[in-house]
Chains A and B, each alone.
Chain A
């Protein structure tokens, strides 16, 4: 049963196992297309498991092939649909732990977080990588803030709540949050 089709993958569910297949994109050059799909599938498998060791709930990976992953099904609501300042604060704590573990997620949107019971699961590690620089962590947080501003009401409240949670667990919260402000001002027409 297909349970979702994101921008890059088709997600099917069968007997409690999720299959995530990264589809070919005919708009892009064939070699580039295969390289992107293969690399992201590999990264996702590896770092999804790695993140759990640093106290970030993630689905258990069961199998991997060239463009496809099989993993545990995490049922629950997307944070996108249920976000509150309290939850954003817990997202902050979770991202802080991830960064402490030397991992940058690369796509921290509220669609990639699932609330199951009282645990927040982080999914979709296809754009993740190992890096501990302030810049990489800053871009990671910037992506999350941008999602809050583009998609949610009372974004400022959610941003502040995230900062509070992140500051408790992250390795360099002050430097990173300062860098986020700098990143926001870049790439602008001046």
Chain B
């Protein structure tokens, strides 16, 4: 079967077609703010403006190749309200036009499922890091349970905020990573782990302060080392607690090479395996929504129009994983 998927919770509008085996086609339009961070209304206007072209392009591909779509999946939440509404409206229209079922997909669950699909991990502790989320999750009794998460801002937000304040443009993550490679020394910064939970706002502020009197490269390095060490420590603890032998990194911040390296070392030292999906499936993308829609569809799930309203605060552990713990 073939499922059309539409993502657009924040910065990336992306539509894709997948079948059971592979991603058939994907088309995206990325919103880049002129200055500062993501503005929800501007992002939704961006999505509305590019919707016809992005969706149209994928539909044209399906027609040219004689592909029949069996369902339309869309990211129902969590995300920015205005963006979610734009995406949901387009998805509903397409589902009615094609006369195929609609599937509301949880964005976080989609990151996990596409990661498992593309990397071959079967039962991982998942480290989900993005501009908006920082969570360590694992499947237990049919739901992705949150073992640890940030108590304030996300790791991506902490790095972006710092980058913006010291004059690096959005998105700041790759620039901080590049500068960190040129550092010569480590500057102690606040390391805040509470049980399996984390706090990044104090760290971001302290790094901004440190940048006033220290070399910027050294501060970028110390910020990364501190934030990632916190994350890896919590992951290791969650693996011990949940008795998981695999770890998998997903989400936009997962593109950072140093974070992947640290997780890999931690896993090898405890006899576990580390999985890193290809970079294009780490950040927000349409394929992850299409794939998750497909496995949901196959397990019998449908989202009636009346229940297709957007869910900006949609929790990962609200979703019952009816498609089982194994790789599909």
For residue A127, which residues in chain B have a CB less than 8 angstroms away from its CB? 193-195
- CB contacts under 8 Å to A, within B290-314, are 312-313
- In angstroms, Cα B186 to Cα A147, docked, is 34
How would you classify the secondary structure of chain A's contact residues: helix, strand, loop or mixed?
loop
- In angstroms, Cα B149 to Cα A190, docked, is 15
Contact string against A for B residues 255-282, beta-carbon threshold 8 Å, 1 for contact and 0 otherwise:
0000001110110010000000000000
Asked if B14 is at the interface (CB within 8 A of a chain A CB), the reply is: no
- In angstroms, Cα B151 to Cα A143, docked, is 10
A108 touching B188, Cβ below 8 Å: no
Q: Which of B148, B186, B195, B197 has the most CB of A within 10 A?
A: B195
Asked if A82 is at the interface (CB within 8 A of a chain B CB), the reply is: no
A190 touching B241, Cβ below 8 Å: no
Asked if B88 is at the interface (CB within 8 A of a chain A CB), the reply is: no
Query: What is the size category of the interface that chain A forms with chain B?
Result: 20 to 34
B225 touching A26, Cβ below 8 Å: no
A106 touching B195, Cβ below 8 Å: yes
A8 touching B233, Cβ below 8 Å: yes
Closest Cβ of chain A to B147, distance in Å, is 5
Closest Cβ of chain B to A155, distance in Å, is 10
- In angstroms, Cα B313 to Cα A187, docked, is 11
- In angstroms, Cα B312 to Cα A77, docked, is 42
For residue A175, which residues in chain B have a CB less than 8 angstroms away from its CB? none
B152 touching A108, Cβ below 8 Å: no
Asked if A149 is at the interface (CB within 8 A of a chain B CB), the reply is: yes
Q: Which residue of B78, B145, B147, B266 is within 8 Å of A188 (Cβ)? A: B78
Chain B residues with a Cβ under 8 A of chain A: 78-79, 108, 132-134, 138, 140-141, 145-154, 186, 188, 191, 193-197, 225-226, 229, 232-233, 236-237, 239-242, 261-263, 265-266, 269, 312-313, 315, 317
Closest Cβ of chain B to A69, distance in Å, is 19
Q: Which of B194, B237, B261, B313 has the most CB of A within 10 A?
A: B194
For residue A146, which residues in chain B have a CB less than 8 angstroms away from its CB? 146-148, 195-197
Closest Cβ of chain B to A5, distance in Å, is 8
Chain B binder among A30-38, A90-98, A158-166: A30-38
Asked if A116 is at the interface (CB within 8 A of a chain B CB), the reply is: no
For residue B240, which residues in chain A have a CB less than 8 angstroms away from its CB? 6-7
| Chain B residue, CB-CB nearest to A150 | B145
Contact string against B for A residues 16-43, beta-carbon threshold 8 Å, 1 for contact and 0 otherwise:
0000000001111101100110000000
For residue A149, which residues in chain B have a CB less than 8 angstroms away from its CB? 145, 317
A187 touching B151, Cβ below 8 Å: yes
Asked if A189 is at the interface (CB within 8 A of a chain B CB), the reply is: yes
Asked if A183 is at the interface (CB within 8 A of a chain B CB), the reply is: yes
B225 touching A28, Cβ below 8 Å: yes
For residue B151, which residues in chain A have a CB less than 8 angstroms away from its CB? 139, 142, 183, 186-187
For residue B239, which residues in chain A have a CB less than 8 angstroms away from its CB? 7
29 A–B contact pairs at CB < 8 A?
A6-B240, A8-B236, A25-B233, A25-B269, A26-B265, A26-B269, A27-B262, A27-B265, A28-B262, A32-B188, A106-B194, A107-B195, A109-B195, A139-B197, A143-B195, A143-B196, A146-B195, A146-B196, A147-B196, A150-B146, A186-B151, A187-B149, A187-B150, A187-B152, A187-B153, A189-B78, A189-B79, A189-B313, A190-B78
- CB contacts under 8 Å to B, within A131-147, are 139-140, 142-143, 146-147
Contact string against B for A residues 86-128, beta-carbon threshold 8 Å, 1 for contact and 0 otherwise:
0000000000000000000011110100000000000000010
Asked if A75 is at the interface (CB within 8 A of a chain B CB), the reply is: no
Asked if A151 is at the interface (CB within 8 A of a chain B CB), the reply is: yes
A151 touching B188, Cβ below 8 Å: no
Closest Cβ of chain B to A101, distance in Å, is 19
B194 touching A31, Cβ below 8 Å: no
The 3 closest A-B pairs by CB, nearest first: A143-B195, A189-B78, A27-B265
- In angstroms, Cα B193 to Cα A36, docked, is 11
A32 touching B225, Cβ below 8 Å: yes
Closest Cβ of chain B to A10, distance in Å, is 12
Closest Cβ of chain B to A58, distance in Å, is 18
- In angstroms, Cα B225 to Cα A28, docked, is 7
For residue A107, which residues in chain B have a CB less than 8 angstroms away from its CB? 194-195
B225 touching A188, Cβ below 8 Å: no
Given the known inter-chain contacts A7-B236, A32-B188, A106-B195, please indicate yes or no for A150 contacting B140, CB distance below 8 A: yes
